[in-house]
Amino acid sequence: MDTLINDLFKVPNLRTGRLEMIINALNQEEEEMFRNMMRRTHTIARAATENDVRVLIDAEQTYFQPAINRISLELMRKYNKEKPIIFNTYQCYLKNAYETCELDAELSRRQGFYFGAKLVRGAYLEQERLRAKQLGYDDPINPTFEATTAMYEKI
């Protein structure tokens, strides 16, 4: 993977909108663990390509998701040249789901790789709302099930 590891761990600060590191630095052991994870991920992606099967990368909490999105897009860029093999998951209960999905799809169009998307409603509703309240940022979750369904259908 040709992306710097530290670039994967930058997320927008929900108060300022600026990118910030979610961790200060990886120690040597963590750096090696990350590199091993990426080697394994590429092994899986290559095997999927060779065997014409798909890899669907699951979504997690909003504070992990930027790194997962970045890794997913890097894998799509490398392995989705002829057809979609790698798919990222978009959680439609998030208020920004449409914009995130649209930006990623546009990136794939501009850079010439197939975009793979799996849509789900979402799984961390209570946890995300509690965290937003505790840390004092806007609730990232759509206010109702109907709003989530509308987002799902819009995408």
Paired tokens of 109? 């169009």
Whether 151 has a pLDDT exceeding 90, the answer reads yes
> What is the reported pTM?
0.81
pLDDT at residue number 1: 43
Dump pLDDT digits (tens) for 35-63. Answer: 898 999 999 999 999 999 999 999 999 88
pLDDT at residue number 2: 43
Which of 64, 66, 75 has its CA nearest to residue 114? Answer: 75
Q: What residue segments make up the domains of the chain, in order of their start?
A: 5-154
Which of 14, 136, 1, 120 has its CA nearest to residue 60? Answer: 120
Dump pLDDT digits (tens) for 66-123. Answer: 889 999 999 999 999 999 999 999 999 999 999 999 999 999 999 999 999 999 999 9
